[in-house]
Amino acid sequence: MRSLCEFTAKQGDLDRRFTPSATALEGQHGQAAVVARRGPAYESEVVLEGRSGELRVRGRADGWDPIRGCLEEIKTIRGLPEDIPENRRALHWAQLQTYGALLCRSRGLAELHIALVYVDAATQHETVQRLACSAAELDAAFEDRCGRYRAWALQEAAHRRARDEALAALPFPPGDFRPGQRLLAEAVYRSALNRRCLLAQAPTGIGKTLGTLFPLLRAMPAAGIDKIGFLTCKGTGRITALEALEPLREHTPGRTLRVLTLVAKEQACEHPQAACHGESCPLARGFYDRLAAAREEAVATGWLDPAAQRRIALAHGICPYYLGQELLRWADVVVGDVHHAFDPYGALFALAQAQEWKLALLVDEAHNLIERTRAMYSTSMSLAQIRTAAQSAPSGLRGRFQRWLKAVAELAAAHDDDYHALDTVPDALAEALQGLVAGLADHVQKHPLATGPLLDFHFQALALQRLIERFGPHSVFDVQREATAPARAAQAAMASLPFEPDPEAMLSIRNIVPAAFLRPRFAACHTVTLFSATLGPPEYPRDLLGLPEDTGWIDVPPPFPPEHLEVRIAGRLSTRYPHRQASLDAVSDLMARQYAQHPGNYLAFFSSFEYLDQAASRLALRHPELPQWRQSRAMDEASRRAFLGRFVPGGRGIAFAVLGGAFAEGVDLPGSRLVGAFIATLGLPPVSPVQAQFRTRLDAMFGAEHGYADRVPAMQKVVQAAGRVLRSPEDRGWLWLMDQRYRRPEVRALLPSWWRIEA
């Protein structure tokens, strides 16, 4: 029912202005309140079903009053009914009219009343909009709606058959698999057929993107997979995915595969100064009136990269970004960022749940997924931010802001150190926040179209409240002080407060183990493959991400002989923080010796910009003849291109970069463009109170011997950086691990088993 009406009934402008919606629980309470007021003959949750040609339409009407002859659709709302956007009201009426047609058919009614009942979530007050309708006019509207949907449904069914037939016979585009690529492909295919998740560790050079996409596409028909999401942790991965998908699509008869790329709203917006509604943006005006024609052209096009989406959208006078969001329903493969599936508000996962799709996910460079999802389920709020929001608050909210400020200030005052972590969130703090959020919700309800800092703060407060409600051992709640000029300015602006809050205090909820939030998502997907050159040990992503217990693991051997990479440890060097100054001469001399013996381009990785600059300066002082260039802080895109542009075939010099930074992964410098790397650090996270909390929590949950807080992620960074050296089976190179701790068994155990390390 909902799918039919959403497809055929929406009309008018796109309107993305925030209007507060009731929660699911409030919706249940609102419906229960209405039902309780009706008579004993009132029927609730009336199951209805009917046919129109090949379509079978099913739904559940909220209530039927046979005494009054009235069919009701109950919507619990926040705010006024007249503030509901036009396109949403049209959807509500279409649903109600369709229920009415089916009720008339099933019970032989000649006429009835239909009523939209809007229930205020706070007061339970009803606003009723009623129409008298004949069965004939309701049936005509139903048949018209089904007729418009039927043509699309038949087209989509034909597309699905053609797609599955093409994919069942899809050849491997290059003809032959690379070494190791077939092993990876077979593991992905089996996991899809058996509805299991897979962790795939595979070295650079085997073609992981094609080696995962091809078998999953081949598995789509047999496994009944509806949609594939190819998700990346970094933007460059989307380019690689499209480069692999294009030849795969070309090898399907009729190029039946539909590929959609999702981009950030900021990248797709044509009018960044305009708000997303018809009164402000010309591409939102009449959006739903022109969507059908744009949708038809888009699915006929099939290859829907950002350029194609923009071309089609502008040709029909609608927003490219929201056209892409609409096309999510009709694409076969969706390429985008990991937040589309793992963020609390990820559109791909939410739609898959609503539509009951069999969703298959491929996650590229998945070693980054832990940090990315930690950020998705973490948030912070400073006293400076609270004061800034309070300045724009109306007088009716000042009291709630002051109570929240006071609660935060008292918590900060109770812990006068620079950092303090708490095992629980104090009840007084949670209650003050709850009161503020409730007050903000009431304000937004009365001013549903308002924008600005107060609305932004409302979203921030909601995010904090939701994480407080789900707080547990998987996260840390802390108070931190950080003196800033904005904080001092905000304190001065709020000098009239009846207390002196600490201007430096910041509250944070920092997620440590995303598994608590992600476990249901993995369980809901048909299959998920996480792949990277650095995923091991397998227990690390399984434990921290919440993968199912039967998740498979494959460690694909490298495509090149081990002797192609000479790995050496500078066993007398220490790059610990207290020893860095003393290490500079030895580090620079070692790099100079290696360069003299085997001239070429090298990357030298250091733990910080400070250490990097010191080492580069010392090398320039002791060996001025050796060419060098450096990564700098906050490099823009042009600077990054210039940095990489110096790696020409046959070039010579040493480039200095930060381990874990922009040049430590996702950089492809094959052949003689790069012949070696120096890693002058163990990559361990810097010592800090926050890091100490992470270690304490992870050690308590999984055991200190695993090194989940520091050693494992550090070695993943090291192996990622080392992976820049060999990019193809023909490459040869040198790798220096410049720290004596690389000799330790627990560290060596986390390095690739195929490395032949010379001490």
Predicted confidence (pLDDT) per residue in 340-360, tens digit: 999 999 999 999 998 999 999
Instruction: Give 187-224 pLDDT, tens digit per residue.
Output: 999 999 999 999 999 988 788 999 999 999 999 999 99
Give the pLDDT band (50/70/90) at residue 173. Answer: confident
Does the structure show a pLDDT above 80 at 447? no
Does the structure show a pLDDT above 50 at 457? yes
- pTM score, whole prediction: 0.89
Give the pLDDT band (50/70/90) at residue 236. Answer: confident
Instruction: Give 556-567 pLDDT, tens digit per residue.
Output: 998 888 899 999
Q: Looking at residues 629-655, what average pLDDT do you find?
A: 94
CA dist., res. 277 & res. 310, Å (int): 18
Q: Report in angstroms the alpha-carbon separations of 618 from 166, 584, 622.
A: 61, 7, 6
Q: Looking at residues 18-37, what average pLDDT do you find?
A: 84
Does the structure show a pLDDT above 50 at 514? yes
Amino acid 287: pLDDT: 94
Amino acid 334: pLDDT: 97
Amino acid 759: pLDDT: 63
Contact at 8 Å (CB) between 509 and 379? yes
455 versus 326: the higher-pLDDT residue is: 326
Nearest to 342 by CA among 202, 245, 229: 229
Query: Would you state the torsion angle of the CA atoms of residues 271, 275, 277, 280, taken in this order, to the nearest 10 degrees?
Result: -70
Amino acid 409: pLDDT: 87
Q: Looking at residues 27-55, what average pLDDT do you find?
A: 92
Lowest mean pLDDT among 18-22, 245-249, 388-392, 676-680: 18-22
Lowest mean pLDDT among 312-321, 334-343, 443-452: 443-452
Does the structure show a pLDDT above 60 at 554? yes
Strands 601-606 and 653-658: parallel
Amino acid 237: pLDDT: 79
- As assigned by CATH, the class of the 2-151 domain is alpha beta
294 versus 10: the higher-pLDDT residue is: 294
Tell me which range, 366-380, 396-410, 665-679, is most confidently predicted by mean pLDDT: 366-380
Q: Looking at residues 514-526, what average pLDDT do you find?
A: 96
Give the pLDDT band (50/70/90) at residue 101. Answer: very high
Does the structure show a pLDDT above 60 at 93? yes
Amino acid 368: pLDDT: 94
Does the structure show a pLDDT above 70 at 315? yes
CA dist., res. 367 & res. 266, Å (int): 26
Does the structure show a pLDDT above 80 at 434? yes
Helix, strand or coil, per DSSP, at residue 709 = coil
CA dist., res. 439 & res. 433, Å (int): 10
Q: Record the tokens describing residue 531, joined without a space.
A: 């792949």
Amino acid 491: pLDDT: 41
Q: Record the tokens describing residue 83, joined without a space.
A: 């503030």
Contact partners, residue 13, CB within 8 Å, separation at least 6: 85, 86, 87, 277, 278, 279, 284, 285, 286, 287, 288
Does the structure show a pLDDT above 90 at 374? yes
Lowest mean pLDDT among 136-140, 451-455, 701-705: 451-455
Q: Looking at residues 49-73, what average pLDDT do you find?
A: 94
Amino acid 435: pLDDT: 93
Q: Record the tokens describing residue 411, joined without a space.
A: 């918590």
Give the pLDDT band (50/70/90) at residue 482. Answer: low
Does the structure show a pLDDT above 60 at 464? yes
As a whole-number percent, the residues of the chain with pLDDT over 70 amount to 96
Name the average pLDDT for the chain.
91
Amino acid 495: pLDDT: 40
In CATH, the number for domain 185-375+516-555 is 3.40.50.300
Contact at 8 Å (CB) between 82 and 118? no
Amino acid 254: pLDDT: 84
Indicate if 562-758 has the same CATH topology as 185-375+516-555. yes
Q: Looking at residues 726-741, what average pLDDT do you find?
A: 91
CA dist., res. 258 & res. 256, Å (int): 6
Contact at 8 Å (CB) between 626 and 595? yes
Amino acid 451: pLDDT: 73
Topology given in CATH for the domain delimited by 562-758: Rossmann fold (3.40.50)
Q: Looking at residues 593-620, what average pLDDT do you find?
A: 96
Amino acid 486: pLDDT: 41
Amino acid 485: pLDDT: 38
Mutual angle of helices 306-315 and 320-327, in 10-degree steps = 110
Q: Domains of the chain: which residue ranges?
A: 2-151, 185-375+516-555, 380-511, 562-758
Contact at 8 Å (CB) between 370 and 381? no
HSE-up of residue 309 (Cα within 13 Å, Cβ side): 25
Does the structure show a pLDDT above 70 at 694? yes
Q: Looking at residues 522-531, what average pLDDT do you find?
A: 97
Lowest mean pLDDT among 448-457, 589-598, 644-653: 448-457
As a whole-number percent, the residues of the chain with pLDDT over 90 amount to 72
Does the structure show a pLDDT above 60 at 494? no
Does the structure show a pLDDT above 90 at 366? yes
Q: Looking at residues 383-397, what average pLDDT do you find?
A: 88
Contact partners, residue 653, CB within 8 Å, separation at least 6: 601, 602, 626, 627, 628, 629, 646
Q: Which amino acid is residue 408, in one-letter code?
A: V
